[in-house]
Amino acid sequence: MEKGLVSVILPVYNAASTIKESLVSVCNQTYTKLEIIVINDGSTDNSLEVIKEIAKNDGRIKIINKNNEGLIKGLNQGLSLANGEYIARMDADDLCYADRIEKQVKYLNKHLDIGLLGTAVKTFQKTNHEVSFLSDSNQIRLKLFFQNEFAHPSVMIRHQVLLDNELKYNDRYLHVEDYGLWSSISRISKVSNLKTPLLHYRVSDSSVSALATKKILERNEMHFRIYRDNFDLINLNYTDEDLSFHRAISGNSPYYFNRLEHFSVIESWFLTLEEEFKKLDGITDRDIQRVLSLQFYNASNKFTSLGLLFFAKYMKTKWSKSVGFKNNLRLFLKSFMKYKAEKAIPFDLA
């Protein structure tokens, strides 16, 4: 392992229209001590030719040309070839800010207890907005019980953390392999996100994340596996019904609720989680209230199609007191209009 070297792992599959811009954004980083491991996963377009053309002028690029075996095998091959002190991820359709690597290395050099560092991102193409994530390690650890809290192509990992704990991407978590890895790292190391956006994250119908959302049932099962692993580690008693509710209230789930009695179940579930989280080492009441209040508010947004009767029940909960007047006003207005998100799926245990 070479100190100061950053290994950038960039998997590519049929990305001829975007790979040039993405790869050049890595090559043009202000931090120059890089090895750029490009995994061409059996592309059938001219992605490989585009990559080779750029590599002619940059000896830091290492091209791994392989048969199509899927993202997880490609990522793990990249990890096995990496020589850097740090490992950065990048996707073939996103763009790095010029100082992305420099700022992440600087932070990790200063904070030796951080094993995983993501950043805020700015989306582009189909939507244009900034997405930020929690930065406090304990709060991220709790948030990972619900959903991913990192933008995959923004992360930088301390290589030694992976080696010491024999960690890599796990095909048990197909389509959410990054979420599974971050959950594992958070159990043995501190983690964080920079509040500054350092990645332009492409959102389009053909992006990796958009394609993955089309496999909802398969993704649900993978989330259930992560939830089971997380709950088993804290010895939480749960049922399959609990897992179904938990998936439905997680921030990135596609569901909404159309039965008021489900709200009482959700409230009870959050109280159970609160008691279990209090038993975790290093977790403070402030951490728990910060994460659970916002998560309960997000979950409550899935009930607004039920109208003001739901909102009245919401305002009687302990969690409504912690999210602020503006959030509660938004929830009131959505309840008043009986708002239901387009393309949402009615929650049904059957």
CATH of the domain at 49: 3.90.550.10
* Residue 25 pLDDT exceeds 60: yes
Give the model's pLDDT for residue 83: 96
234-239 mean pLDDT: 92
Is residue 281 in some structural domain?
Answer: yes
Beta bridge partners of 123: 201
Contact assessment for residue 232 and residue 154, using Cβ atoms and an 8 Å cutoff = no
Judge whether 221 lies within some domain: no
Q: Length of the chain, please? A: 350
Q: Are residues 177 and 323 in the same domain?
A: no
Residue 63 lies in a domain: yes
Domain annotation covers residue 288:
yes
Q: Are residues 174 and 269 in the same domain?
A: no
Answer whether residue 290 is part of any domain.
Answer: yes
Minimum mean pLDDT among 18-22, 188-192, 206-210, 275-279: which range?
Answer: 206-210
Average pLDDT of the chain is 92
Regarding whether 240 and 176 lie in a shared domain, the answer is no
Residues 184 and 244 in one domain: no
Residues linked to residue 68 through DSSP beta bridges, in sequence order: none
Percent of residues, the chain, with pLDDT higher than 90: 82
Same-domain check for residues 79 and 206: yes
pLDDT, residue 313, reads 96
CA–CA separation, 189 vs 113, rounded Å? Answer: 7
User: Do 40 and 167 reside in the same domain of the chain?
Assistant: yes
Q: With a cut of 60, say whether residue 47 has pLDDT above it.
A: yes
Question: Confidence band (pLDDT; 50, 70, 90) for 340?
Answer: confident
In this structure, what are the phi and psi dihedrals at residue 94, rounded to the nearest 5 degrees? -110, 175
Question: Residue 49 belongs to what domain range?
Answer: 2-212
**pLDDT at 336 > cutoff 60:** yes
- Per-residue pLDDT tens over the stretch 105-116: 999 999 999 999
Which range scores top for mean pLDDT: 6-20, 193-207, 328-342?
A: 6-20
pLDDT range class, residue 350, cuts 50, 70, 90? very low
Note whether 254 and 191 are same-domain residues: no
Residue 218 lies in a domain: no
Q: Which residue has the tokens 């096995």?
A: 80
Considering the domain architecture, whether residues 27 and 127 belong to the same structural domain is answered as yes
Residue of higher predicted confidence among 340 and 85:
85
- For residue 208, the model assigns a pLDDT of 47
Q: What is the pLDDT of residue 216?
A: 73
Claim to verify: residue 305 and residue 169 sit in the same structural domain: no
**Same domain for 158 and 37:** yes
Q: pLDDT tens, 149-193?
A: 999 999 999 999 999 999 999 999 988 999 999 999 999 999 999
Identify the residue with better confidence: 344 or 233: 233
Dist. CA 294–CA 209, nearest whole Å:
24
- 65 within a domain of the structure (yes/no): yes
Q: How confident is the model at residue 212 (pLDDT cuts 50, 70, 90)?
A: very low
Residue 214 — pLDDT band, cuts 50, 70, 90?
Answer: low
User: Does the structure show a pLDDT above 60 at 250?
Assistant: yes
Determine the pLDDT at residue 215.
67
When divided into structural domains, the chain yields a total of 2
Is the pTM value of this prediction over 0.85? yes
Of 180, 212, 244, the one marking the end of a domain is 212
Is residue 203's pLDDT more than 90?
Answer: no
Query: Does residue 239 share a domain with residue 145?
Result: no
Residue that has been written with the tokens 């009245």 in this structure:
312
Residues 203 and 243 in one domain: no
Q: Which amino acid is at 98?
A: A
Residue 8: partners with Cβ closer than 8 Å, 6 or more residues away: 26, 34, 35, 36, 37, 87, 88, 89, 90, 101
> Is 20 a member of any domain?
yes
Tokens of 188: 């043995």
Average pLDDT over residues 28-37: 97
